[in-house]
Structure 1
């Protein structure tokens, strides 16, 4: 029987991966402002710990390319917060390179972080998320889960796979009130995208401004970059009680990219 229990916001606990910068940090702050207790998993760096400490977030050091670290991240969240009601799979990174020269070890690491880790975190957290009665998983995909761009073979492959994982998990979680959805933003103004601009400028022989105008925003109807808070606002809705009927959804926040 599907549970109708909806825990009070102040009792809900969330784990956000890649949660000390960019989209992840905006999501963590947004959930915290809504009264959730929030843990952030990220690489163990002094600057990451400092951000978490400053914001009162529970910091969980984890290299999500490692299976043991994925299990440890879930265990540490449960130890620190006592429950797990919301999981936001956000961690990721980019590497811009043609297929003919794409490093094999980088391919392996990118798929581990952006596809295998979300699967493992859901697997290890499944029982806790199910006990919630209103568990929420949000996978931060990308518009590149829907379309492709050159020089991003590993990133595009991982994000396309994440959509399939989202839909499968949604079907399996429905009976216990666990929803699983994906958000697909276009380019967001983050440190990661700043790095992409430099990489694409090098790969394509363009200036950074030309990359933004001619590559990143060229397919978009709205000619401006998204901000991390824009994605966080959509996550906030998806994990709310109001979104109880939404599962297996792929939500495009794409500036009109796919409207053509």
Structure 2
């Protein structure tokens, strides 16, 4: 698969799924724009010969500036947008800090909307584009103590479907990838948080919370998600839009 004439912007590309996507798309020949807020992302970009764009997605003006910087770096058009950036905090709803709630909704729902708003016009003018939103199995089901995260991911599913319908006549597809637990730094942090919240050992979090409902009893590797994103970005993926792709180890089969 070759994407040599395409430019991709990947948010949250400093680690985990985002970094795996950056590496996969670079191997496919795409021009990669690495976004993150962490210093490690600069190292990811340097290793790939990619551009690094730093922006705080919790700041709406910074998101707009990121889109403008991406368009400048790409010569006026970003062909593929992967909305991946996010984070989690675990609290009972009555204890959830409102500032944290607002920040999570901004980073994981409003910022993807903003980037789509600013980058979609050039895709439509070119009559080709791919928007891939990294959602979660929690975009379609719920679990306790994750009200902000799950609200954002459910909203992202609605955004995915709506923009898919609007953009389809212009050759632009919009899809969501909904993985179960992926072996990432965010998941590593969750293990400790869940153990503390539920008052159980960390080993029990993995076995009971993360893998208990799954038919396939293992964590997903970031590369597996990245390869699926690569397929959705390909010409062969052009028949797929508006879908929630459940890479969920059978979580939602029950």
Which TM-score band (shorter chain)? over 0.9
| 1:49 is aligned to 2:45 | no
* Cα deviation code 1:95-130 (max 9, x no counterpart): 000011100000000000000001000001111222
3-state secondary structure, aligned to 2:239:
coil
CA contact (8 A) 1:71 1:124 kept: yes
Does structure 2 conserve the Cα–Cα contact (< 8 Å) formed by 1:17 and 1:40? yes
Instruction: Supply the distance in 2 between the matched residues of 1:179 and 1:52 (Cα, whole angstroms).
Output: 26
Find the counterpart in structure 2 of residue 58 from structure 1. 51
Partner residue in 2 for 1:195: 189
Q: Please, which of 56, 61, 69 is the counterpart of residue 76 of structure 1?
A: 69
Q: CA deviation at 1:207?
A: 1.2
- Determine the structure 2 residue equivalent to 1:5: none
Q: Give 1:57 shift.
A: 1.9
Per the alignment, residue 133 of structure 2 pairs with: 139
Q: Which runs of 4+ in 1 moved over 3 A?
A: none
- Report the secondary structure of 2:35's partner residue: strand
- What's the offset of the Cα at 1:81? 2.1
Distance 1:165 1:75, change over 3 A: same
TM-score by length of 2: 0.97
CA distance in 2, matches of 1:14, 1:131: 17
Per-residue CA deviation, residues 219-240 of structure 1 (Å, 9 max, x unaligned), is 0000000000010011011010
CA contact (8 A) 1:84 1:132 kept: no
Which piece of structure 1 moves more, 107-116 or 200-209?
200-209
Counterpart selection for 1:13 from 7, 10, 14: 7
Identify the match of residue 101 of structure 1 among 95, 100, 104: 95
Which residue, 115, 118, 123 being the options, matches 2:112?
A: 118
Unaligned runs of 5+ in 1: 1-7
Q: Using the TM superposition, give the Cα deviation of residue 46 of structure 1 relative to its aligned residue in structure 2, in angstroms.
A: 2.6
5+ residue gaps, structure 2: none
